[in-house]
Amino acid sequence: MDSRPNIVWVTLDSVRQNRTTMGGHHRDTTPRLQRMAEVGRSFSTCIAAGIWTLPSSASILTGTYPSHNTVGIDGESVPSELPTVAERFSDSGYRTACLSRNGHLSGATGMDRGFDRFSWLAASTVLPAAGPRTLAKYLLNIRRHSAGFTTETAKHATPFLMNDIAKRWLDDLAGEEPFFCYLHYNEPHRPFVPPLPWQSRYADEIDATVEEAIDIAMEAHRDMHARVASGDPLTEREREALLAMYDAEVAYTDECIGRLHDRVRGLDTDRETLFLVTADHGEMLGDRGLLAHNLVVDDALVNVPLVATGLDGLTDGDGLAPANDDIVQHTDLMRTLLEAGEADTDGIQGVDLRTERREFAISQRSPTDFELYLEHDPSFETSRFHAGLLTGLRTETHRYQRSDDRAELLRLPDETTDVSDSEPELAAELDERLDEWLATEGAPVGEGRDAEFDDAMRRQLSDLGYVE
């Protein structure tokens, strides 16, 4: 009997682990994910390989690290010589499908390769992607599941749309052959504007009206570079309002993913269906005077949730090798799933979680020239940040980060104090490990390649703050 599992992989956008219920947040923002964790697994130290959607998604969908696949480092598109995981699953007999709400995960970047069915969801594609019936349902529910009737496209939430399309696709996929279905939700990516009924969820805990909090969230989104350049991006009142809106978006998205999970559990299939939820990266919410996701490889950006049901069923023994608080990366999970799907894993850079544990994680950030900050304030203190390619090697207790500029050893959770002088032996050991990693797994597979974003994609990326 064919025991290969069905796989539903859900990636959320901009969720940091410590703002979730599983991560110990004082607000119960993810009760549905928490319930999944209680019957499945939740990893508290899942470390993303990239700090924004493009490199992180490429890492997930190729099973390789950013400097190796070049995407988000010195290229924008997956090199043709590098197979995608969808191609690997397809070659193993899987039916494959991907629904993406972010232009960075699209045909423009080559991340659609290998998917039998692929749709990128945006204002210009919503009718053919969703169909008239789903679109009509969304419009009828636009005050319950989005910002109401507003022409500001950046304010609209789309998990309702994503869910309705995904449920229909999953019904089609369930059959004799196993399937791999990858879903990229855009929430709670900034601007943090929850659907109307959710905007007041934490409003009684802040010194602002809902309307003021939404205005603060929109202004922080539009003026992000200017605010960071000022050195003081948010007043305490603004930060509390922004956090309330962010947490409300996380909570709304959690409810939607919970409903999707309910549907998956009811699929008409004889196979085990694995259901996995993670995030591509986290978010700076005023931490260290920063907003959004750039400049650093701090845990606020790379420590993301990872919850899964059905994973332990892949083993014949006592379950997966890592404990819930051990370090894991998306590349590990992808290798494990490919192995379980009897697909080719040659060149995949993670470990098999059924039998292995990893000693350290890698996160990377592309070179930056600080131009967008300096044009707002020429005195912006760039020396606080690395300019060249930044690679962070994270152990359970430390992060050793290095670029062409300099190297630092940080004892976590302190993200700013260099302890190299007080712990020189550890600094030397991790420096040697990083040298070896960069020369092997971190070496580029080829030349970086540009993406071909069309006008609709650029409009969507502009709403998200990626392009002007």
DSSP state of 5: P
* DSSP per-residue letters across 289-308: G-EES-S---HHHHEE-EEE
Please check the confidence at residue 463 and state whether its pLDDT lies above 60: no
CA atoms within 13 A on the CB side of 7: 26
Please check the confidence at residue 457 and state whether its pLDDT lies above 60: no
Tell me the CATH number at 342: 3.40.720.10
Are the C-beta atoms of 399 and 392 separated by less than 8 Å? Answer: yes
Please check the confidence at residue 61 and state whether its pLDDT lies above 60: yes
Output the six-digit token pair for 153.
């496209």
Cβ-count burial of 122 within 10 angstroms (0-12 exposed, 13-18 middle, 19+ buried)? buried
* DSSP per-residue letters across 58-109: HHHHHTS-HHHH-BTTTBSB--TTS--HHHHHHHTT-EEEEEESSTTSSGGG
User: Which pLDDT score, from 0 to 100, does residue 459 have?
Assistant: 65
Instruction: Specify the number of domains making up the chain.
Output: 1
The string of pLDDT tens digits covering residues 177-209 is 999 999 999 999 999 999 999 999 999 999 999
Q: Is residue 55 part of a domain?
A: yes
User: Which pLDDT score, from 0 to 100, does residue 124 have?
Assistant: 82
User: Which pLDDT score, from 0 to 100, does residue 88 have?
Assistant: 98
Q: Is residue 78 part of a domain?
A: yes
* Integer Cα distance of 321 and 32 in angstroms: 25
Q: Is residue 1 part of a domain?
A: no
* Integer Cα distance of 303 and 319 in angstroms: 23
* Integer Cα distance of 184 and 182 in angstroms: 7
Q: Is residue 351 part of a domain?
A: yes
Please check the confidence at residue 129 and state whether its pLDDT lies above 80: yes
Higher pLDDT among residues 444 and 458, named by residue: 444
User: Which pLDDT score, from 0 to 100, does residue 456 have?
Assistant: 60
In the chain, the amino acid numbered 240 is E
Are the C-beta atoms of 30 and 262 separated by less than 8 Å? Answer: no
The string of pLDDT tens digits covering residues 334-345 is 999 999 999 999
User: Which pLDDT score, from 0 to 100, does residue 268 have?
Assistant: 87
Give per-residue burial for 343-370: e unless 16+ CB within 10 Å, then b. bebeebbbbbbbeeebebbbbbbbebee
Please check the confidence at residue 245 and state whether its pLDDT lies above 70: yes
User: Which pLDDT score, from 0 to 100, does residue 152 have?
Assistant: 83
Q: Find the mean pLDDT for residues 39-47.
A: 96
With CA atoms as reference, report the closest residue to 313 among 368, 348, 353, 253. 353
Are the C-beta atoms of 443 and 68 separated by less than 8 Å? Answer: yes
User: Which pLDDT score, from 0 to 100, does residue 319 have?
Assistant: 79
Q: Is residue 253 part of a domain?
A: yes
Q: Is residue 468 part of a domain?
A: no
User: Which pLDDT score, from 0 to 100, does residue 455 have?
Assistant: 65
Cβ-count burial of 151 within 10 angstroms (0-12 exposed, 13-18 middle, 19+ buried)? exposed
Are the C-beta atoms of 115 and 98 separated by less than 8 Å? Answer: yes
With CA atoms as reference, report the closest residue to 409 among 429, 389, 379, 436. 429
Q: Find the mean pLDDT for residues 32-42.
A: 96
User: Which pLDDT score, from 0 to 100, does residue 1 have?
Assistant: 61
What is the reported pTM? 0.94
Mean pLDDT of the residues in the chain: 93
Output the six-digit token pair for 107.
């045909």
pLDDT band at 398 (very low <50, low <70, confident <90, very high): very high
Are the C-beta atoms of 289 and 231 separated by less than 8 Å? Answer: yes
Please check the confidence at residue 36 and state whether its pLDDT lies above 60: yes
Give per-residue burial for 394-405: e unless 16+ CB within 10 Å, then b. bbeebbbbbbee
Q: Rg of the Cα trace of the chain?
A: 21
Q: Is residue 25 part of a domain?
A: yes
User: Which pLDDT score, from 0 to 100, does residue 466 have?
Assistant: 55
Q: Is residue 389 part of a domain?
A: yes
User: Which pLDDT score, from 0 to 100, does residue 458 have?
Assistant: 63
Domain span holding position 389 = 6-463
Q: Find the mean pLDDT for residues 15-32.
A: 98
Please check the confidence at residue 464 and state whether its pLDDT lies above 60: no
Q: Find the mean pLDDT for residues 428-432.
A: 98
